[in-house]
Amino acid sequence: MFLLRAILYAFPIAVVGVGIWLFNRVSDLSLSDDRSAMVSAIREPVGYLDPAIPQKGITREITDLIFEPTLTRDDELILRPNLIDSWSFQTVVVIRCASEEAAGETEAMIRSGEFLSGGLNAEAVDRNETVLTVGLEGFQGGLTKKLIGNIDPVLLGDYLLVKLSLRDSVAVSFETFLKASVEKTQIKMLEYEGDSTVNLFLKGDTDLFLRELELYYESNRSLDPEIEVVGTQCYTSFHVMELKLRTDVRWHDGVRFGADDILFSYNQFTAPGSSLPLANSFWFVEDLTRVDEFTLKVHCNDEPTTMLESWEKLPVLPAHLFSKMKKPAEALQFFANPVGNGPYRFVKRRRDGGVELEVNENYFREPPLEKRLVYKEAGSLESVLLAIRSNRLHVIVPDERFVKWTERNPGMVKTVPCLPRYQHFVAWNLDSGPFDRISVRTALAKGVDLKRVRRDSIDQFQQPSESLFYPAVPYCDEKMMLPLYDPVAAGRMLDEAGFTLEDGAAVRRDAEGNPFSFKLTVNEGNSDHLYFAEELAAQWSALGVSVELDPVSREVMMRDRLSTREFDALILNWELPLERDRYTTWHSSGIGSGSNIFGLRNQLVDEAVTKLRYEEENIHVKRLTSRLQKEIAELQPCLFIGDSGRLITVRADSLEVIREGVGGEPIVQRLGVGKAGLERSRAWWVRKSAVEEALQPVEP
């Protein structure tokens, strides 16, 4: 009786205790204010939401939701307008005619179309005394010579064209020269081309003038002068790209987006020491100027077909906020609580390290159906499971306990694989022996079983590297054929290279008795790269190659290894590019100043990456990307370890993708990422319950 009475008295207390326990477990993930939100459980705090720094995982996902790109990729990875609404190209030809009458006659003939044979289209014609300026539609090579060739030579001026270029601004130096020049009367016209070049049109005893010019600048060698005698020529030309921006975009604080934001961001990220050094990406830009609130003019010194890819890479920041900042700490504060212009706006940071977003109702496209996104700390396994069962948790960054539970209880969640975005590799220093020999690099590639090096994790998959480019891009459809694992062939190649392994010895030695050993530098903060380094070192050791691991911080690696090229080999990764322009990465001119960290010097590679910048026909572009991949695979400037991508765990059958169709109708799709990856689809993920509500017919 006593026992029964004790149980009866204890039961209510136990119920209360269990209730409290359950409340505490679920409280972090199932608060009532999250019922109308898509909730993601995260394991690490959300970092700075800065679109200009390399990011992965949840932090990148959130940044992409807040900041809108200048251009976007469609489902077939073709570049389409976005913040930049349209663009046009124009070749401007400045012609010095023989006289004012000749200029007038030439103008009339161009306006009538008589001098425009061969498919030329003049969009603008302007005359100032003897100088005629003609704007031709397009950037195609040869437009200028075609126009000049159509004009009667009698109408053209007879000048010697000389170009003077300096490292810095040429105006001050040249005007100082003119003040003391004796032969300056031979300059009949001059034209400044950007800040660093002046074009001189000469008549008379030009030899005396040229000698005077050369003597002056020989005494000013610190300016890095370059004097080019072009020859008899009465014209110059330059290229203009006009960018028209959307007029219906606003920042999340209500301020209108416009040309000032693009101009500020361009200057910010092409400046020396920028956090995102894009100067090499905009190598073709001579000058960028603001025409009006929504128009920019780009003066180009070249006409690559890949120039839109450069604008695609430019992050856009709100100029009206950054122009007021005086200290670096203010920028950090901004990226902790950013103001963007994308489909979602930042609301707040949570005490658990997460953030909350809400839909941007003023988004220039149809706003997403999902009104609120909550990223919060995952908490315990019990709280995660309770939140999933109560339909208050939709996306999960799992831990090991959760993964094991899902294996025992299939059907509750499913995994959505993203496309591989990052490529991991061992970069060899080709200026350092023995890595200056292809046979040695190939032997080291054949000597490792990469299946043992790569490993999946609970939120990431790894796969073999198959291309230098992002998966499914339209200009590359062939795989990169890398060396296969063959330790016997690897040993034979090292023997032939002079590194032999004596019986009973652990390390190969050359003819002088020097051991084959090198230092492998790795970022100590990257657990995947540390694992790669240890496994690679073990396999190379079995081949008779001694490897010393050199774990350092990322800062030390960049400052003391990469920038100084003081390394044997190091493990790095880069984001697989959507663009086809790989000039700065592989061209020999990029050694030291660009991204050619390997020191690769190869004529065939140089030719391929140069032609890729200018080729227009897709069939020829594919041939060039195929050739580039073949050369890189044979040269082995780096050992390609593999590519990696995110694994996203979602509650089964809880989410869909719904976005606006071509005619404005809603299109509902199964949850996935598509060819364009997560960046293209994530904003349009929505809970099924929200889809059902949105698609209900409106009562009259």
pLDDT exceeds cutoff 50 at 634: yes
pLDDT band, very low/low/confident/very high, at 168 (cuts 50, 70, 90): confident
Q: What is the per-residue pLDDT across 459-495, written as a single tens digit (0 to 9) for each?
A: 999 999 999 999 999 999 999 999 999 999 999 999 9
pLDDT exceeds cutoff 50 at 30: no
CA 545 to chain centre: 36
Residue reference for tokens 């005086």: 326
pLDDT band, very low/low/confident/very high, at 31 (cuts 50, 70, 90): very low
Highest mean pLDDT among 115-124, 125-134, 213-222, 592-601 belongs to: 125-134
Q: Which of 92, 36, 26, 73 is nearest to 675 (CA)?
A: 73
Half-sphere exposure of 384 (CA within 13 A, CB side): 26
Give the end-to-end CA distance of the chain in Å, rounded to a whole number.
68
Cα–Cα distance for residue pair 498/403, rounded to 1 Å: 49
Amino acid 551: pLDDT: 97
Amino acid 356: pLDDT: 98
Residue 645: how many CB atoms within 10 A of its CB?
20
Whole-angstrom CA distances from 400 to 403, 406, 458, 476, 651 are 5, 10, 7, 38, 17
Cα–Cα distance for residue pair 491/486, rounded to 1 Å: 9
The answer as to CATH 3.10.105.10 being correct for domain 422-644 is yes
pLDDT exceeds cutoff 70 at 559: yes
Region 583-594: mean pLDDT is: 87
- Percent of the chain past pLDDT 70, that is, above it, reads 93
Region 654-676: mean pLDDT is: 83
- How do 395-396 and 38-42 pair as beta strands? parallel
Whole-angstrom CA distances from 181 to 104, 170, 189, 680 are 33, 16, 15, 61
Whole-angstrom CA distances from 627 to 436, 588, 624 are 22, 17, 5
Residue reference for tokens 């203010």: 330
Region 120-148: mean pLDDT is: 92
pLDDT exceeds cutoff 90 at 107: yes
Q: What is the per-residue pLDDT across 363-385, written as a single tens digit (0 to 9) for each?
A: 999 999 999 999 999 889 999 99
Per-residue b/e over 14-39, b at no fewer than 16 CB within 10 Å? eeeeeeeeeeebbebbbeeebeebbb
pLDDT band, very low/low/confident/very high, at 680 (cuts 50, 70, 90): confident
CA 485 to chain centre: 32
pLDDT exceeds cutoff 50 at 1: no
Whole-angstrom CA distances from 166 to 220, 280, 284 are 10, 19, 17
Residue 360: how many CB atoms within 10 A of its CB?
23
Region 547-554: mean pLDDT is: 96
Least confident of 27-36, 343-352, 648-657: 27-36
Cα–Cα distance for residue pair 483/505, rounded to 1 Å: 27
Least confident of 9-13, 35-39, 422-426: 9-13
Amino acid 193: pLDDT: 84
Half-sphere exposure of 240 (CA within 13 A, CB side): 20
- Percent of the chain past pLDDT 90, that is, above it, reads 78
Amino acid 659: pLDDT: 84
- Calculate the average pLDDT of the chain: 91
Amino acid 694: pLDDT: 61
Least confident of 133-147, 428-442, 531-545, 663-677: 663-677
Least confident of 130-144, 411-425, 440-454, 605-619: 130-144
Beta bridge partners of 517: 546
pTM given for the model: 0.87
Region 624-633: mean pLDDT is: 97
Least confident of 8-12, 416-420, 642-646, 690-694: 8-12
Q: Is the dihedral of CA 395, 463, 428, 540 positive or negative?
A: positive
Amino acid 33: pLDDT: 54
pLDDT exceeds cutoff 60 at 431: yes
Q: Write down the CATH superfamily of domain 35-73+329-412+652-695.
A: Periplasmic binding protein-like II (3.40.190.10)
Q: Give me the count of residues in the chain.
A: 700
Q: Can you give the C-alpha Rg of the chain in angstroms?
A: 32
Q: Is the dihedral of CA 594, 596, 602, 606 positive or negative?
A: negative
pLDDT exceeds cutoff 50 at 4: no
Region 269-283: mean pLDDT is: 89
Segments making up each domain of the chain, as ranges: 35-73+329-412+652-695, 422-644
pLDDT exceeds cutoff 60 at 27: no
pLDDT band, very low/low/confident/very high, at 242 (cuts 50, 70, 90): very high
| 616 φ/ψ angles, rounded to the nearest 5 degrees | -105, -35
pLDDT exceeds cutoff 70 at 153: yes
Cα–Cα distance for residue pair 530/453, rounded to 1 Å: 11
Residue reference for tokens 């959505």: 416
Amino acid 594: pLDDT: 66
- How do 546-552 and 517-523 pair as beta strands? parallel
Region 333-362: mean pLDDT is: 97
pLDDT band, very low/low/confident/very high, at 359 (cuts 50, 70, 90): very high
Whole-angstrom CA distances from 585 to 469, 580, 605 are 12, 11, 11
The secondary structure of residue 588, as a DSSP letter, is G
Q: pLDDT higher for 193 or 151?
A: 151
Q: Which long-range contacts (CB under 8 A, 24 or more apart) does 175-182 make?
A: 177/213, 177/216, 177/217, 181/209, 181/212, 181/216, 182/212
pLDDT exceeds cutoff 80 at 18: no
Q: pLDDT higher for 14 or 46?
A: 46
For residue 434, say if its preceding peptide bond is cis, omega within 30 degrees of 0: yes
Amino acid 660: pLDDT: 77
DSSP helix/strand/coil, 39: strand
Cα–Cα distance for residue pair 317/323, rounded to 1 Å: 10
